[in-house]
Amino acid sequence: MGNEACDLDSTVSALALAYFLAKTSPTSKAAFVPVLNIPRSDFALRTETAALLRQQRIPDASLIFRDEIDLAGLHQAGLLSLTLVDHHVLPRADAALEEAVVEVLDHRPLERDRAPRCRITAELVGSCATLVTERIAQGPPGVLDGLTAALLHGTILLDCVNLSPAGGKVTPRDTACVTLLESRFPELPARDVIFKALQAAKFDVSGLTTEQMLRKDLKALSSDELALGISGIYMDLEVFLRRPGLLQDLEAFCQARGFAGLVAMTVSFNERSEPFRQLAKHPPDTALRPFQMCRVLEEATTPSLHLQALPSPWPCINAYTQGNTLASRKKVLPILRTVLGTPLGPTAPEEDVALPPTPVNSLVDECPLAQAVPPLCPQAVFERVSRIAAGQPPASPASGSPPK
């Protein structure tokens, strides 16, 4: 299972590692289930993920989402072993699942220790898919197939900004894995072609409302006194700030989720794949006393964001250009934790809030957003995975069989 943002890296890492374990595990009765850590109704917002899976002809019906599997029930029945990819700290709502964690693969610095029985791979590479690729490459020959290679290849390229040093994410290990995949599967698309296609899909927010844009890539931080939302926005800040009804949408978004404040971090890229970052905060610090977010962000040194104030069309929104383009949200989150007085650690991981269903939009074809899908019981999980492994067509939910 990947993290709650369920971006392309989390999704592909879960899919590829589950496939590898299913092919190589000596435990014949185990079902290895890749879980996408969002409700199915939110899949439409993961536009780059939907685009890559659709390109590889992986139907939405073959995916298992968090609201379709009862992890707590499986754990209580003694049937759950949980491997975390692209994160290593579960949110508070999943605290009961901590004792089920048997393995972690993550590309972030570790925030907490785990029991000795838990296998940990934590390396500062650009993409968790790089760690999964290395794991598969070290396994038995012949396990890595063309489909898995295409998923990993596209994910690493997108995560590492087409291996451009200007993006500030790529490491030699990421580059080595892309080279390895291309050498084994020369039919893979050219790097520029796949990167541009996935980048275009990721930044295509033309069919989304402001509310959907804000929760497309949302993290939440909270303390006993305050909750903050931090949204990644894939458009120019000036364009975003002039969206019709923006103030009403921001206020409704914060009110619905109990946020006292919201930070929007925008990112775009030039023709040389160099990032351009901007930042906005709502409401102003005068409404958040004694929590002075603007001052903390402006004076931050680890890292320094090099913020320069921008004219804002709204007096209740502070807008900035972020001179340090290498400071992604991952690096800004610890700064915002200091505003809340919550140090980096297992007691205060960033958490995604419970999100309402997403209205249908034009970005994903044939996505059953309006369907209410009941959770999968343990027996249904085993039956479903067995069908997929055997290459049998999934049974129809209308016939009373487990949902897909």
pLDDT tens per residue across span 240-296? 999 999 999 999 999 999 999 999 999 988 877 788 999 999 998 776 766 788 889
CA–CA dist 166, 240 (Å, integer): 25
Query: Using CA of residue 153, residue 62, residue 1, residue 92, what is the dihedral sign?
Result: positive
What is the rounded average pLDDT of the residues 332-354?
Answer: 60
* Partners of 307 in beta bridges: 322
Is the distance from CB of 40 to CB of 81 less than 8 angstroms?
A: no
CA–CA dist 261, 14 (Å, integer): 32
Q: Buried (b) or exposed (e) across 370-401, using 16+ Cβ within 10 A?
A: eeebeebebebbbbbbebbeeeeebeeeeeee
What is the rounded average pLDDT of the residues 93-98?
Answer: 91
Average pLDDT, rounded, for the chain: 84
**Residue 356: other Cβ atoms inside 10 A:** 12
pLDDT at 399: 39
pLDDT at 347: 34
Q: Is 80 exceeded by the pLDDT of residue 351?
A: no
In this structure, the dihedral spanned by the alpha carbons of residues 249, 251, 257 and 259, taken in order and rounded to 10 degrees, is: 140
Is the distance from CB of 159 to CB of 120 less than 8 angstroms?
A: no
What is the rounded average pLDDT of the residues 191-196?
Answer: 96
Q: What is the pLDDT of residues 15-37, one digit of tens each?
A: 999 999 999 988 778 899 999 99
Instruction: Say which residue, 339 or 375, is predicted with more confidence.
Output: 339
Q: How confident is the model at residue 387 (pLDDT cuts 50, 70, 90)?
A: low
Measured CA angle at 77 (ends 72, 78), to 5 deg = 100
CA–CA dist 303, 300 (Å, integer): 6
What is the rounded average pLDDT of the residues 54-80?
Answer: 96
CA–CA dist 144, 170 (Å, integer): 23
pLDDT at 27: 74
Please identify which residue in the block is written with the tokens 């044939």.
366
CA–CA dist 404, 395 (Å, integer): 8
* Partners of 319 in beta bridges: 280, 310
Is the distance from CB of 240 to CB of 208 less than 8 angstroms?
A: no
Phi/psi at 385 (5° precision): -65, -35
Q: How confident is the model at residue 345 (pLDDT cuts 50, 70, 90)?
A: very low
